[in-house]
Structure 1
Amino acid sequence: MRFNPKADISGGRVGDSGSGGGGGMGGGGMRIPIPGGTRAGGGIGGLIIIVLIFVINSCLGGGGGTGLPSPDSGIDAGSQTGNAQGLQKDSERYANCKTGEDANNDPDCARKAVAVSLEDYWTTTLPEQADVQFTPAQIITFSGGVDTGCGQATSQVGPFYCPADQQIYLDTTFFADVLEGQLGGQGGDYVEPYVLGHEFGHHIQNLLGTMNQVRTQKGPDSDAVRLELQADCYAGMWTKDASDGDGIFLDLDQGDIDEALDAAKTVGDDRIQQQSGQRVNPEGWTHGSSEQRQRWFGIGFDQGTLEACDTFSASEL
């Protein structure tokens, strides 16, 4: 994966909140055991408890709106508008990221370049295919902890989209520490872009009102699984467009696609259960199996339409 060195990435909406205190997500959010490590957040000894990558976390304290209730939390998602609280403490972490050449030499700048590509793609695609105006989500990196519209997140929280403030949050150490170290993913340059593509997919669902369709939270055919697989499909749509070489990417080859597919496999519910020492139990799924996540990413990549990614109408996932 390489970026066009002449590309302008100065407009990418990425900020950094710096370091913050702990405190978790105030009891909201889905938490899962990850094999190995030390206990964090209480509950199961000998296991790290983290919020699953790609979770849409619940908002704390209501807010008068409706949205996706976080599984097991009993707390409804609140208003779909708000401010990016993390950006109120914005650092200069991304100030020198101006061109694609910067992105080729600096992972922070690469993140900003990915944001530009995602914004450009959905600015065109959403109005064309759904007649809905696109408003961008901001990506906020942090370490230690961060205050969000969905409560306070710690460094043990995987990348997530908060519908209350329409922001994407991630501690960038997650990829090496958890996705590769804990879950055994192969890693690679395109893993983080795939993750960000998935989280942008949740933002698209928020703009389209799809989140309001979620009624069932667990099970192989649940609405929660359909929501997650659709976000994977949207990530595939963007990846296909990005691989055409006409935009910010100078080249995106099959190896990069394979890295995305491996990341999708790594965070499948069946894989998570096995890595946690559990038996595979589809009734406990909230995000879909490894095979499903890879397949729906591929559908988005091959067909490139919102219609093809309509997991809520699919008779078979």
Structure 2
Amino acid sequence: MSFSRGSRLDTSQVQDRRGGLGGKIAIGGGGLLVLIASLLGVPAELLEGFGLGSGQEQQQAGGPGLQEECLTGADANERTDCRIVGTVNSLNDFWAGYLPRYNMQYPVPQTVLFDGGVSTGCGSASSAVGPFYCPRDQTAYFDTAFFAELTSRFGASGGPLAEEYVVAHEFGHHIQNLTGAIDYSRQDPQGAESGAVRVELQADCYAGVWAANATEQVDERTGQPFMQPLTEQDLRDALSAAAAVGDDRIQQSATGQVNPHTWTHGSSEQRQRWFLLGYQTGDAGRCDTFSAPDLDRPA
């Protein structure tokens, strides 16, 4: 999904910690960390290991690089870091306007760009964990190098909405943190029907809800839509990214076998179907994975 070229980006919503903060590898966080850790044999009950690290290091929001180079939608169409900024702007605007219909307020989460390693409220993490959300500090963390790996390592087709889907998925975890649903991933951490899988599929569905509504947002400074309408290629790119990070596909690639008993995120097909449900309905109320009798057939 492309941004309108004249749309103005708000870099104050993103902290740029690239080029400085390293640290130990943590067992905390969310996003792809849970999946990767499970494949490496890390006990599932530790995957949300809150309490590691202080997460106190700070850097000025935006950072000089973002503030100088991520100014408009045209920049977001050209650069991954600027695209993250624009997607964060869109997600914050959408959810802040959407949640009140459910009598919920939307505290804006923090977003951090990093490389190498980063210290968080859930512990210190290396770039190997991929994008993740930390419930303790209500922050989504992204190493921009991951998006190249999404294509080269995981086999996604690439494209703007593939990257935006990843950001929107992590913001879906923020919504779950507000509703309390994210706790299911710790109470029931692995298995094809587990709470962890249902949490991840719901975050995929929430990403689809955002994608369905994103093009209706208007940049108040220009009076023009903030983002351009989705194309068929955009949708194919998002579905390709969702499939690329399915448990079955990653397990098959890593070990040559598929073991549903250790799943934490759901199959490629499930991830695509729940994203599509959110996109086709535009209704977060349809994303109740916890009541779904069959995760293969979202209704």
Shorter-chain TM band: 0.7 to 0.9
Change (3 A) 1:244 1:254: farther
SS in 1 for 2:8: coil
Query: 1:178-231 deviations in whole A, cap 9, x for unaligned?
Result: x22222222222211100000000000001111234421111111100000000
1:252 aligns with 2:224: no
In structure 2, C-alpha distance between the alignment counterparts of 1:154 and 1:86, rounded to whole Å: 17
In structure 2, C-alpha distance between the alignment counterparts of 1:153 and 1:74, rounded to whole Å: 12
The equivalent of 1:211 in structure 2 is 182
The equivalent of 2:89 in structure 1 is 116
Please identify, of 92-101 and 265-274, the stretch whose mean Cα deviation from structure 2 is larger. Answer: 92-101
RMSD value, Cα: 2.7
Contact 2:33 2:129 survives alignment (8 Å) = yes
1:316 aligns with 2:294: yes
TM-score w.r.t. structure 1 length? 0.80
Query: 1:137-187 deviations in whole A, cap 9, x for unaligned?
Result: 12211111111111111121200000011011111111213x222222222
Counterpart of 1:173 (choices 131, 139, 145) is 145
TM-score w.r.t. structure 2 length? 0.85
The equivalent of 2:106 in structure 1 is 134
Gaps of 5+ in 1: 32-49, 56-69
Which amino acid in structure 2 is aligned with residue 168 of structure 1?
A
Q: Deviation at 1:77?
A: 3.5
Q: How does 1:154-233 map to 2 (within 5 A)?
A: 154-177=126-149, 179-214=150-185, 215-233=187-205
Higher share in helix: 2
1:51 aligns with 2:51: no
Query: 1:9-29 deviations in whole A, cap 9, x for unaligned?
Result: 22551121122224211x446
Number of residue-to-residue matches in the alignment: 280
Query: 1:53-102 deviations in whole A, cap 9, x for unaligned?
Result: 699xxxxxxxxxxxxxx8242765369xx977443686312112232233
In structure 1, C-alpha distance between the alignment counterparts of 2:11 and 2:96, rounded to whole Å: 14
In structure 2, C-alpha distance between the alignment counterparts of 1:54 and 1:243, rounded to whole Å: 33
Which amino acid in structure 2 is aligned with residue 271 of structure 1?
R
Which amino acid in structure 1 is aligned with residue 162 of structure 2?
V
Higher share in strand: 1
SS in 2 for 1:2: coil
Please identify, of 183-192 and 252-261, the stretch whose mean Cα deviation from structure 2 is larger. Answer: 183-192
Contact 1:53 1:158 survives alignment (8 Å) = no
In structure 1, C-alpha distance between the alignment counterparts of 2:144 and 2:96, rounded to whole Å: 26
1:15 aligns with 2:12: no
The equivalent of 1:98 in structure 2 is 71
Contact 1:54 1:199 survives alignment (8 Å) = no
Please identify, of 251-260 and 293-302, the stretch whose mean Cα deviation from structure 2 is larger. Answer: 251-260
Which amino acid in structure 1 is aligned with residue 8 of structure 2?
D
Change (3 A) 1:54 1:241: farther
In structure 2, C-alpha distance between the alignment counterparts of 1:136 and 1:206, rounded to whole Å: 12
Which amino acid in structure 1 is aligned with residue 256 of structure 2?
Q
The equivalent of 1:293 in structure 2 is 271
SS in 1 for 2:17: strand
Contact 1:147 1:153 survives alignment (8 Å) = yes
The equivalent of 2:25 in structure 1 is 24
1:242 aligns with 2:211: no
Contact 2:112 2:139 survives alignment (8 Å) = yes
Contact 1:225 1:285 survives alignment (8 Å) = yes
1:307 aligns with 2:285: yes
The equivalent of 2:240 in structure 1 is 262
In structure 1, C-alpha distance between the alignment counterparts of 2:227 and 2:36, rounded to whole Å: 24
1:277 aligns with 2:277: no
Q: Deviation at 1:304?
A: 1.6
In structure 1, C-alpha distance between the alignment counterparts of 2:77 and 2:152, rounded to whole Å: 25
In structure 2, C-alpha distance between the alignment counterparts of 1:287 and 1:304, rounded to whole Å: 22
In structure 1, C-alpha distance between the alignment counterparts of 2:208 and 2:195, rounded to whole Å: 20
